[in-house]
Amino acid sequence: MDGRLARGAETRRATLARAVDIASVEGLDGLTLGRLAGELRLSKSGIFAHFGSKEDLQLAAITFAEDVFAERVLKPSFQAPRGRPRLLALLDHWMEYSRSRVFPGGCFFSAITAEFDAREGRVHDLLVRRNQAWVDLLKRLVQDAVEEKHLPAETDVDQLVFEINAFGRAANFESVLTGTDLPYDRATTAVRARLNAN
């Protein structure tokens, strides 16, 4: 039984790893149980047993991508000292995550958010919650920087978070579209200048 459980967990992991790669390029609508079964040489019924529906597969793919993002961006960022160093570490790891094409289509969340932002349903709602959690994290780091006196007490936290987020997302979009890394350098320069201006 333990062996079967381990194989099942590995099948699920392999399926989701391929699913997020596809979705980062083609969107979540590009995912089908049949396509994944064919590409991974697994039975469609076996994959169906893990996910049940296309929507369940999409939701699981988002959660899998969140785990990857946490491992590649969040975890190393929190090794930096509290305040401005941690905020800059987050920016650097975020840009590197997209630049190194952890997912072939760049930032997984940028790709699928554009796909589902005007829709309704469970996938949209999960993306809204995920986006809010990301914004809340940025606010927390900016507020930490204010408390550490790395930023002025009068810093408009919401405005600064909006700008950091906008620069990062624009860098991913421009890089994926043009095939150059220069947008990441520009975004980093812009955020650092914004932090130094406060």
Express each pLDDT in 11-49 by its tens digit.
888 889 999 999 999 999 988 888 888 888 877 777 778
pLDDT tens for 103-135 read 999 999 998 998 999 999 999 999 999 999 999
Residue 119 phi, psi (nearest 5): -100, 175
* Cα atoms found within 13 Å of the Cα of residue 97, Cβ hemisphere only: 25
Q: Are 40 and 15 in contact (CB under 8 A)?
A: yes
Please give the distance of CA 146 from its chain centroid, rounded to a whole number.
Answer: 26
- What is this structure's pTM? 0.88
**Which tokens sit at 195?**
């932090």
Q: Whose CA is closest to 72, among 54, 56, 95, 51?
A: 95
- The residue behind tokens 């600064």 is 160
Q: What is the mean pLDDT of residues 138-155?
A: 97
Residue 74 burial (C-beta neighbours within 10 Å; 0-12, 13-18, 19+): middle
**Alpha-carbon span 94 to 126, nearest angstrom:** 21
> Does 168 score more than 90 pLDDT?
yes
What ranges do the domains of the chain cover? Answer: 54-197
> Does 95 score more than 80 pLDDT?
yes
> Does 198 score more than 70 pLDDT?
no
For domain 54-197, give the CATH superfamily: Tetracycline Repressor, domain 2 (1.10.357.10)
> Rounded to the nearest 5 degrees, what angle is found at the Cα of 135, between the Cα atoms of 126 and 26?
50
What DSSP letter does each residue of 131-151 carry, written as one string? HHHHHHHHHHHHHHHHHTTSS
- The residue behind tokens 């699920």 is 12
Averaged confidence pLDDT in the chain: 92
Q: Are 169 and 186 in contact (CB under 8 A)?
A: no
Please give the distance of CA 95 from its chain centroid, rounded to a whole number.
Answer: 11
